[in-house]
Structure 1
Amino acid sequence: MMLLVRFCGPLLLVSYCSLVFLAVARTSITDPSEVNALLAARNSLIDPFKHLENWDKGDPCTSNWTGVVCYDTIGTDGYRRVQELQLLNMNLSGNLAPQLGQLSQLKILDFMWNELDGSIPKEIGNISSLRLLLLNGNKLSGALPDELGCLSNLTRLQVDENKISGQIPKSYANLSSVKHLHLNNNSISGQIPSELSKLSSLLHLLLDNNNLSGNLPSELSNLPELRILQLDNNNFSGSEIPATYRNLSKLVKLSLRNCSLRGAIPDFSSIPDLSYLDLSWNDLTGTIPSKLSVNMTTINLSGNRLNGSIPGSFSNLLILQRLSLENNLFTGSIPANIWQNRSFNTNDRLTLDLRNNSLSKILGKLNLPHNVTLRLGGNPVCIDAYVSNIDQFCGSEAEGDGTTESSTNYTTTCPIQACPVDNFFEYVPESPVPCFCASPLRIGYRLKSPSFSYFLPYIYLFEKYLTSALELEPYQLYIDSFIWEEGPRVKMYLKLFPAWNDEHSHIFNSTEVQRLRRMFTSWNFRRTDFFGPYELLNFTLVGPYSEMNFGTQRTRISKGVWAAITLGAIACTVVASTIVTLLIVRRNARYHQNLSRKRLSSKISMKVDGVKFFSFKEMALATDNFNSLAQVGRGGYGKVYRGILSDNTTVAIKRAEQGSLQGQKEFFTEIGLLSRLHHRNLVSLIGYCDEKGEQMLVYEFLPNGTLRDWLSAKAKEKLNFGMRLNIALGSAKGILYLHTEANPPVFHRDIKASNILLDSKLIAKVADFGLSRLAPVQNDEGTLLNHVSTVVKGTPGYIDPEYFLTHKLTDKSDVYSLGIVFLELLTGMHPIFHGKNIVREVAMVHRAGMMFSVIDSRMGSYPSECVERFGSLALRCCHDTPENRPSMLEVVRELENILKMMPETDAIFSESMYPYSGTSASSSSFYTSINQYASSSVSGSDLISDVTPTINPR
Structure 2
Amino acid sequence: MSRMRCFGCVFVLSYCFSVLHTDAQITDPSEVAALISVKKSLVDPMKHLRSWNRGDPCASNWTGIFCFDTYGTDGYLHVRELQLLKMNLSGHLTPELGKLSQLIILDFMWNELVGSIPKEIGSISSLQLLLLNGNKLSGSFPDELGYLSKLNRLQVDQNNISGPIPKSFAYMSSIRHLHLNNNSINGQIPPELSNLTTLLHLLLDNNNLSGHLPPELSKLPAMRIIQLDNNNFNGSEIPATYGSLSRLAKLSLRNCSLQGSIPDLSSIPSLYYLDLSKNNLRGSLPSKLYDTIRTIDLSVNHLSGSIPGIFSDLRFLQRLSLENNQLNGSVPANIWQNMTSTKSYSLTVDLRNNLLSSISGALNPPDNVTLRLRGNPICDNANIANITQFCGYEAGGDRTTERSTNSTMTCPVQACPVDNFFEYVPASPLPCFCASPLRIGYRLKSPSFSYFDPYVFSFESYVTSALKLNPYQLSIDSYFWEEGPRLRMHLKIFPPANNMHSSTFNVSEVLRIRGIFTSWHFPGDDLFGPYELLNFTLVGPYAGVYLTKGKNISKGVWVAIALGSIACIIAVTAAVSLLIARRYARQHRKMSRRHISSNASMKIDGVKGFTFKEMAMATDSFNCSAQVGRGGYGKVYRGILSGNSIVAIKRAEEGSLQGQKEFLTEIKLLSRLHHINLVSLVGYCEEKEEQMLVYEFMPNGTLRDWLSDKAKGTLNFDFVIPSKSLDVTCLPPLDAMKRH
Could you tell me which of 496, 506, 530 is aligned with 2:527?
530
Question: What is the SS of the residue equivalent to 1:490?
Answer: strand
Partner of 2:563: 563
CA apart distance, 1:390? 1.1
1:289 deviation in Å?
A: 1.0
The alpha-carbon distance between structure 1 residues 54 and 573, as it changes in their structure 2 partners (threshold 3 A), is farther
- 8 Å Cα contact 1:197-1:223 kept in structure 2: yes
Displacement after TM superposition at 1:349 (Å): 1.1
1:166 aligns with 2:166: no
Mapping of residues 65-76 of structure 1, within 5 Å: 65-76=62-73
| Alpha-carbon separation, structure 1, partners of 2:40 and 2:395 | 57
Distance in 2 between the 1:148 and 1:295 partners? Answer: 37
Is 1:331 equivalent to 2:328 in the alignment? yes
- 1: distance between equivalents of 2:60 and 2:526? 39
- Distance in 1 of aligned mates of 2:512 and 2:294: 35
Conserved? CA contact 2:339–2:366, under 8 Å = no
Cα separation, 2, equivalents of 1:146 and 1:282: 33
The question of 1:131 aligning with 2:128 is answered yes
Question: Match for 1:207: what amino acid?
Answer: L
Work out which of the residue numbers 515, 518, 521 in structure 1 matches 2:518: 521
Deviations 1:343-394 (A, max 9, x none): 3432111111111000000111111211011111110000101112111111
Tell me the amino acid that sits aligned with residue 565 of structure 2: I
Partner of 1:921: none
Residue 291 of structure 1 aligns with which residue?
A: 288
Name the amino acid aligned to 1:294.
D
Q: Matched residues in 2 for 1:450 and 1:225: separation?
A: 18
Change (3 A) 1:428 1:347: same
> Is there any run of 5+ residues in structure 1 with no aligned partner, and where?
1-12, 577-954
Do structure 1's residue 21 and structure 2's residue 34 form an aligned pair? no
Q: Where do 1:258-657 residues align within 5 Å?
A: 258-397=255-394, 404-552=401-549, 553-556=551-554, 557-566=557-566
Q: 1:396 & 1:291 partners in 2: Cα distance?
A: 32
Q: Distance in 2 between matches of 1:14 and 1:112?
A: 49
Query: 2:218 is matched with which residue: 218, 221, 228?
Result: 221
CA distance in 2, matches of 1:573, 1:362: 97
Structure 2 Cα separation of the partners of residues 343 and 574 of structure 1: 85
C-alpha change, 1:573 and 1:416, in structure 2 (3 Å) is farther
**Other-structure match for 2:597:** none
In structure 2, relative to structure 1, the CA distance for the partners of 1:560 and 1:261 (3 Å cut) is: closer
Match for residue 116 of structure 1 among 94, 108, 113: 113
Q: For 1:55, what is the secondary structure of its paired residue?
A: helix
Q: Distance in 2 between matches of 1:261 and 1:303?
A: 12
Separation in 2, partners of 1:402, 1:450: 13
Query: Aligned AA for 1:337?
Result: N
- The answer to whether the 8 A contact 1:351-1:402 is kept is no
- Name the TM-score, length of structure 1 as normaliser: 0.57
- TM-superposed CA distance for 1:574, in Å, is 13
Offset of residue 548 of structure 1: 1.3
Contact kept? 2:143, 2:166, Cα under 8 Å: yes
Query: Which residue identity does 1:22 align to in structure 2?
Result: S
Matches of 2:314 and 2:574, distance apart in 1: 80
Inter-partner Cα distance in structure 1 for 2:13 and 2:202: 57
SS at match of 1:188: strand
Match of 1:143, SS state, is coil
Q: CA deviation at 1:400?
A: 10
C-alpha displacement of 1:435: 1.2
Q: 1:365 to 1:222 in 2, by over 3 A?
A: same
Q: Evaluate the alpha carbon distance shift between residue 494 and residue 569 of structure 1 in structure 2; reply closer, same or farther with a 3 A threshold.
A: farther
Q: Which runs of 5+ in 2 are unaligned?
A: 1-8, 577-740
Kindly tell me: are residues 476 and 163 of structure 1, through their superposed partners in 2, closer, same or farther at Cα, counting changes over 3 Å?
same
- Give per-residue Cα distances to partners, 1:648-690, cap 9 Å, x unaligned: xxxxxxxxxxxxxxxxxxxxxxxxxxxxxxxxxxxxxxxxxxx
Instruction: Give the aligned partner of residue 87 of structure 1.
Output: 84
CA distance in 2, matches of 1:573, 1:70: 33
Sequence identity percentage: 66
Distance change >3 Å, CA 492–CA 570, structure 1 → 2: farther
Shift of 1:561: 3.4
Cα displacement (A) at 1:396: 2.9
Give the whole-Å Cα distance in 2 for the aligned partners of 1:402 and 1:237.
Answer: 30
Deviations, residues 894-932 of structure 1 (Å, cap 9, x unaligned): xxxxxxxxxxxxxxxxxxxxxxxxxxxxxxxxxxxxxxx
Cα shift at 1:77: 1.7
Contact 1:375/1:398 (8 A) holds in 2: no
Instruction: Give the length in aligned residue pairs.
Output: 564
Q: CA deviation at 1:331?
A: 0.2
Task: Determine the C-alpha separation between the residues in 2 that align with 1:499 and 1:30.
Answer: 37
For residues 85 and 462 of structure 2, the distance between their equivalents in structure 1, rounded to whole angstroms, comes to 24
Task: Confirm or deny: 8 A CA contact 1:480 1:494 kept in the other structure.
Answer: yes
SS at the partner of 1:359?
strand
Q: Deviations over 1:402-421 (max 9, x none)?
A: 86252333310122222121
Q: CA shift at 1:92, angstroms?
A: 0.5
Match of 1:870 in 2: none
1:840 corresponding residue in structure 2: none
The residue identity in structure 2 corresponding to 1:32 is P
Partner Cα separation in structure 2 for residue 373 and residue 402 of structure 1: 13
Which residue of 1 is the match for residue 49 of structure 2?
A: 52
Partner of 2:161, secondary structure, is strand
- Paired with 1:89 and 1:124, the residues of 2 have a C-alpha distance of 20
Match of 1:625 in 2: none
CA distance in 2 between counterparts of 1:14 and 1:63 reads 26
Q: Report the RMSD for the aligned CA atoms in angstroms.
A: 2.2
- Please report how far the alpha carbon of residue 94 of structure 1 lies from its aligned counterpart in structure 2 after TM superposition: 0.5
Tell me the residue number matched to 1:151: 148
2: CA distance between counterparts of 1:298 and 1:153?
A: 34
Change over 3 Å in CA distance of 1:573–1:326 after alignment to 2: farther
The 2-side partners of 1:428 and 1:573 are apart by 54
Deviation, structure 1 residue 572: 7.7
Rounded Cα–Cα distance in structure 2 between residues aligned with 1:498 and 1:335: 51
SS of corresponding position for 1:201: coil
Whole-Å Cα distance in 1 between the matches of residues 115 and 325 of structure 2? 45
Q: Name whichever of 421-430 and 485-494 sits farther off.
A: 421-430
Structure 2 contact 233–256 (Cα < 8 Å) conserved = yes
Structure 2 counterpart of 1:257: 254
Q: Aligned partners of 2:313 and 2:470: how far apart in 1?
A: 36
Report the Cα distance in structure 2 between the residues aligned to 1:488 and 1:176, rounded to whole angstroms: 30
Cα distance in 2 for residues equivalent to 1:366 and 1:230? 36
Q: How far apart are residue 23 of structure 1 and its match?
A: 4.0
Structure 1 residue aligned with 2:200: 203
**Does the CA contact (< 8 Å) of 2:13 and 2:575 recur in 1?**
no
Q: In 1, are the aligned partners of 2:31 and 2:79 still within 8 Å (CA)? A: yes
Q: Normalising by structure 2, report the TM-score.
A: 0.74
Q: Distance in 1 between matches of 2:110 and 2:301?
A: 37
Q: Contact 1:137–1:159 (CA<8 Å) still a contact in 2? A: yes
Distance 1:81 1:452 in 2: 43
